[in-house]
Structure 1
Amino acid sequence: MSRSNPYLGRAQRFIGLLRHCQVLGMVVQEASKESLTIELPYNESHVGNPSTGVIHGGVLTTLMDTACGTMVINALPEFELCPTLDLRVDYIRAAEPNKSIFAFAEAYRVSRHVVFTRCTVHQGDVGEPVANCVGTFMRIGSHLSPPDFKQAVLGDEGEG
């Protein structure tokens, strides 16, 4: 985790606290206030069709929802948990077996009540997507976010 990049550290800690992210093996590669990239290394336990080795669509949806939700954490001026309101997914093509999958997410609008995000899943070239999504997340306010979880995500930056 990087002290020089609080967005990367925050995203890594957030992902590290979510059990489904641990089980799937998600790894935050890059993060800033504007975007982030999460890698999902190929794993046979993610396969939906054993005869093709193609990753199950539910795994891709989970990756996109997680990437967008993590992006929300970094886009807001103060930490607050924001539940998913809507996630609209377009599956474009099957991911190639035995290759990592990457989710590139952005928050393109932050309003008083909703954060708007988009994500592209690819296998090394964002211009050749496997899937795309747009997601909206409801702002509940920092005061309603569990303090222990907030401290765990913010780490040292949450002190003081």
Structure 2
Amino acid sequence: MTNRVLWGISISALVLAFIGILITITFEEPEIYNESETYVPKTRDVYLFTRVDENIEEEGLAIPPDMFSQDTIVVNQGDKVKIHFYNLEPVETQEHHTFTINDPAYNIHEDINAEENIVIEFTATKSGIFNYICTFHQPTMSGELVVLPVED
């Protein structure tokens, strides 16, 4: 081969090697988890309201039209949870609603009358999915508390 061809091949190899180095540097995966960092629990304020689904005809379907404003609450294990629970029913109705978790991990049952509110506080000590319900308005008034596990 001539010197020009060898020189061209050498330059091409150097350029490809340089591009390979740049790609490796540019696209190196970022560090996702730092072993020395630990999760610091937070206070999670959740606002939960009662509501009525106008599309449900209580008499015709024989189910209550009552629902929670959120059907999923997500927190991390170790978080302090503060659920601000509001019963928006008009006071004339005297209609009660509950926030109830029957699982022994949390065992919460709070009953409030129309136009009342309460703050329910607990620490999310156990991870998993826990159903919450209104004991008066099943099956429509229900949701899930999702407690995500935190790695040590």
Output the TM-score relative to the length of structure 1: 0.25
Q: Which has the higher strand share?
A: 2
Q: Which has the higher helix share?
A: 1
Larger radius of gyration, structure 1 or 2?
2
Output the TM-score relative to the length of structure 2: 0.26
